[in-house]
């Protein structure tokens, strides 16, 4: 048996959120061990990772401040966004110039952002990246958390952070249950080549069966996210590429001309989840381990990045004043800061989903009227844009 090593922080999960937490804390002097079970896999569609994220402007500024954005290859800015309701008249255009920014956010391939964060951490003497590595056991004790890795290595730390995704192993080991809602939908993702260049505009059309989004990527390509009720999604996935493109063109419309080519498709079930406890003594959950939401606004990973930065600030402040950051006194501050943002976004996504899939008489007309009112109300529209892009939220840019 190997002897036990005392470290300052253990992070289970080396995706974008776990890496961001480690990157934010790398200059605090803490000895951080980040444990990831496998190298990130890349599933390409027309040469682009199927898994992409829309990083809102506020979080781009955060990643710039911690030094990660500079290492990112081929981000694609979202200069504007067009949203409309099925075939009805009216819609809203959101333009970055209205909030005095060059973009609303940036589209990134998940694998490229992970690579950028890893590049940053590999230059650090205080962060140890263990990958591939597995955790075989975890035990919470009064003064520390004890973890045993698959190679027999034993680690102790004042705090362990779960950043290991929606099916979090660490969350299960802690006995934390979930509130969940199955939308009975699937999200279909693929890369699409349109006839006309997207001009850095993101498009989202709300269909009766769920939203369809085409998001701008490099070289004029678009990342597609099509949410549909499970039977419809299953039927769409069963089509060959020509049949799928035919249905896609009918559903999306002529805004980008003919949608000419579709890359490899993938589908995943859509479920909202919220951990019943974001923190326990010597445990904190961040990112998808803490919550997942409907992807109709692309805000899921942004919530996780904000989790990472708020938790990093609480850990750094406690460490600076010699406090034990694994105690509930410190961890409650992280929870109390994050819950309002998380609950507000989850509620708005649930509300939008029900509003735009409702078949009740008159609802479509009310939706159209509401969209026109928001589109013509400059102050309200700007407030919505600043909030949705994370520019007004009390999230630290640096630690």
Is 324 within 8 Å of 144 (Cβ atoms)?
no
Flag whether pLDDT at 269 surpasses 50: yes
Residue in this structure with the two tokens 């994050």, named with its chain if needed: 338
CB 16 within 8 A of CB 113: yes
- On the question of pLDDT at 353 being above 70, the answer is no
Question: Quick one: average pLDDT of 186-197?
Answer: 96
Q: Which residues contact 296 (CB under 8 A, 6 or more apart)?
A: 204, 210, 211, 213, 227, 349, 352, 353
Task: Quote the Cα angle for 257-258-264, to 5°.
Answer: 125
Q: What percent of the chain has pLDDT over 90?
A: 76
333, 314 contact by CB (below 8 A) = yes
Please state whether 322 falls in left (phi above 0), alpha (psi between -120 and 50) or beta: left
Look up the CATH superfamily of 4-179+271-388. Answer: FAD/NAD(P)-binding domain (3.50.50.60)
pLDDT in tens, 109-150: 999 999 999 999 999 999 999 999 999 999 999 999 999 999
% of residues, the chain, pLDDT over 70: 91
pLDDT tens figures, 227-263:
999 999 999 999 999 999 999 999 999 999 999 999 9
Q: What integer pLDDT is reported at residue 1 of this predicted model?
A: 41
Mean predicted confidence (pLDDT) in 73-97: 85
Whether the per-residue pLDDT at 170 is higher than 60: the answer is yes
Would you say residue 89 has pLDDT above 60? Answer: no
Distance CA 144, CA 266 (A): 41
Written as six digits, the tokens of 94 are 């959101």
Select the more confidently predicted residue: 108 or 360.
108
Q: Where does the pLDDT of residue 368 fall: very low under 50, low under 70, confident under 90, or very high at 90 and above?
A: low
Give me the pLDDT at residue 298, please: 66
Q: How far apart are CA 270 and CA 40, in angstroms?
A: 22
Could you read off the pLDDT of 199-215 as tens digits, one per residue?
999 999 988 888 899 99
Backbone torsions φ then ψ of 177, nearest 5 degrees: -85, 175
pTM value surpassing 0.85: yes
pLDDT digits (tens, 9 = 90+) for 294-341: 776 567 899 999 999 999 999 999 999 999 999 999 999 999 999 999
* DSSP letter, residue 7: -
């Amino acid at each position: 048996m190997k002897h036990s090593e005392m470290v300052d922080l253990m992070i289970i999960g080396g995706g974008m959120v776990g890496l961001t937490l480690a990157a934010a804390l790398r200059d605090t002097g803490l000895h951080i061990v980040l444990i990831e079970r496998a190298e990130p896999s890349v599933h390409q569609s027309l040469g682009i990772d199927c898994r992409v994220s829309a990083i809102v402007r506020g979080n781009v500024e955060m990643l710039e401040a911690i030094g990660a954005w500079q290492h990112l290859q081929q981000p694609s800015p979202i200069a504007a966004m067009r949203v409309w309701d099925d075939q009805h008249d009216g819609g809203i255009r959101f333009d970055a110039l209205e909030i005095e920014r060059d973009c609303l956010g940036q589209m990134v391939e998940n694998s490229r952002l992970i690579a950028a964060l890893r590049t940053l951490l590999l230059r650090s003497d205080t962060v140890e990246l263990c990958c591939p590595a597995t955790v075989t056991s975890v035990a919470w004790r009064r003064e520390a958390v004890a973890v045993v890795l698959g190679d027999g290595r034993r680690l102790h730390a004042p705090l362990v952070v779960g950043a290991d995704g929606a099916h979090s192993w660490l969350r299960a080991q802690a006995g934390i249950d979930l509130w969940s809602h199955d939308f009975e939908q699937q999200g279909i993702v693929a890369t699409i080549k349109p006839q006309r260049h997207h001009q850095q505009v993101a498009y989202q059309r709300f269909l009766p069966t769920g939203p369809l989004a085409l998001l701008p990527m490099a070289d004029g390509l678009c990342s597609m996210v099509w949410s549909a009720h499970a039977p419809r999604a299953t039927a769409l996935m069963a089509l060959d590429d020509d049949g799928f493109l035919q249905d896609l063109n009918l559903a999306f419309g002529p805004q980008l001309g003919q949608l000419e080519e579709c890359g490899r498709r993938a589908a995943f079930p859509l479920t909202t989840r919220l951990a019943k406890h974001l923190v326990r003594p010597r445990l904190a959950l961040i990112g998808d381990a803490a919550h997942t939401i409907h992807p109709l606004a692309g805000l899921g990973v942004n919530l996780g990045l904000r989790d990472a930065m708020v938790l990093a600030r609480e850990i750094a402040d406690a460490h600076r004043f010699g406090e034990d950051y694994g105690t509930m006194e410190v961890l409650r501050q992280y929870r109390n800061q994050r819950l309002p943002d998380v609950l507000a976004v989850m509620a708005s996504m649930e509300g939008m989903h029900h509003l735009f899939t409702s078949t009740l008489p008159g609802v479509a007309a009310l939706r159209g009227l509401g969209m026109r009112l928001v589109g013509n109300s400059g102050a309200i529209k700007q407030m919505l844009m600043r909030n949705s892009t994370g520019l007004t939220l009390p999230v630290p840019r640096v630690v």
